[in-house]
Amino acid sequence: MTKTDWQNFFQTKARKCKVLVIGDIMMDRYYYGDVRKFASDAPVPVAKIIKRKASLGAAANIANNLARLGCKTSIAGFVGDDHNFEILSDQLYESGIDQDGLIATEWPTTTKIRIMSGHVQMFRMDFEDLAPRSDEQFDALKEFVEQRLNDSLDAIVLADYEKGVCTEQFCGSVIRAAHNHGVPVIVMPYGQRWIKYAQADYITPNVAKINKILLSPIQTDDDDAAERAGRYIMRKFKIKNVLATRSSSGITLVTEDNAFHLPTRMQEVFDSAGAADTVAAVFAMALAGGLKPVDGAYIANVAAGIVLRKSGTYAITRADVLNELAG
């Protein structure tokens, strides 16, 4: 595709895409400060906070990427009734993301608080509760998914961060429901139990995640190993296609008949936070807009290169991608 083709795609088809992101929702909160001394009452460093930032994380970050790219985006998952949810809800509203699929629970909204000194993370605090959610809460989630499918969707992203949403039963029900409506499912995986994603159309792991399910780890710069790993994943877990992100080595798309290795144009990895989220979002947008999978992999690779140069969680925009293509 030419630069003009991409401009036309973002101006027309991307704006009409309807994508639902289902999965584990988080808030990422950053406190930036100077660490220049130790406390007088304990041998611990003291950070004088000079700046704060709150960002949508995990499934919410994927949804934010999609919305900033111009897609009509909905999100579904579990949240708490707390201050962190208020921040999250405000940010979803500002991005124009439909949040009717957020199911309130008695547990806290999953939140990660990071203390930063410059670009170095000094400490992290996690607020979460991984107790199993009730059948009633999952039923409410399934009802919302079916409602959005009946209203028409172009793609679904299942975003798993092992925080309670993506159980084997729930993933199976979403994949079956989506396929009954002819809607592709893109999975952002986690952990090692990938059989719960069986029959998904695409899975988007990075090499670190792939190595957790392999007996012999692969290197990010080995094209042949990336293809073999992709075919192993397809065969073992009954997943149709694999889009493997390989950091500074780019992306590999493995399909039934082909493998495409797309090198990145970026020279240095500054921060990998959120890059995998961006790949899942941009690839879902591409499929939702009717692009060929290899074109989707290409534009996802371009977007990932942009995010790898950013600090912290960053949601990509249409302008970011088009400027990168122009450059």
Whole-angstrom Cα distance, residue 104 to residue 84?
A: 13
Q: How far apart are CA 170 and CA 190, in angstroms?
A: 15
CA nearest neighbour of 148 among 75, 257, 210, 206: 75
Residues 6+ apart with CB under 8 A from 291: 9, 299
Bridge partner list, 115: 31, 123
H or E element that contains 30 = strand 25-38
Query: Would you list the DSSP string of 74-130?
Result: EEEEEE-SSHHHHHHHHHHHHTT-EEEEEEE-SSPPPEEEEEEETTEEEEEEEE---
* Residue pLDDT tens, the chain, 327 long: 888 888 899 889 999 999 999 999 999 999 998 888 888 888 888 888 999 999 999 999 999 999 999 999 999 999 999 999 999 999 999 999 999 999 999 999 999 999 998 878 888 999 999 889 999 999 999 999 999 999 999 999 999 999 999 999 999 999 999 999 999 999 999 999 999 999 999 999 999 999 999 999 999 999 999 999 999 999 999 999 999 999 888 999 999 999 999 998 655 554 455 688 999 999 999 999 999 999 999 999 999 888 877 766 778 888 999 988 887
Burial classification of residue 136, based on how many CB atoms lie within 10 Å of its CB (0-12 exposed, 13-18 middle, 19 or more buried): exposed
Q: What is the pLDDT of residue 270?
A: 46
| Cα–Cα distance measured from residue 297 to residue 283, given in angstroms and rounded to the nearest whole number | 6
Cα–Cα distance between 247 and 149 in angstroms, integer?
34
Q: What does the alpha-carbon distance between residue 308 and residue 305 come to, in Å, rounded to a whole number?
A: 5
Show Cβ contacts of residue 323 under 8 Å, excluding neighbours closer than 6 positions.
Answer: none
pTM for the predicted model, two decimal places: 0.93
For 153-205, give the DSSP string.
-SEEEEE--SSSS--HHHHHHHHHHHHHTT--EEEE--SS-GGGGTT-SEE--
Task: Say what angle helices 168-180 and 135-150 make with each other, to 10 degrees.
Answer: 20
**Strand-pair partners of 157:** 21, 186
Question: Going from the N-terminus, what domains does the chain have, and what CATH number goes with each?
Answer: 3-326 (3.40.1190.20)
| The pair of three-digit structure tokens given for residue 313, joined into one six-digit string | 């969680």
What residues contact residue 200 under an 8 Å CB cut-off, 6+ apart? Answer: 158, 171, 175, 185, 186, 187, 239, 240
Task: Residue count of the chain, please give it.
Answer: 327
d(Cα 172, Cα 191) in Å, to the nearest integer?
17
Using alpha carbons only, give the angle 320, 325, 327 rounded to the nearest 5 degrees: 95
Check if the beta carbon of residue 155 is closer than 8 Å to that of residue 186. Answer: yes
Q: How far apart, in whole angstroms, are the C-alpha atoms of residue 297 and residue 250?
A: 10
Q: Catalytic amino acids?
A: 277
Note the pLDDT of residue 268.
55
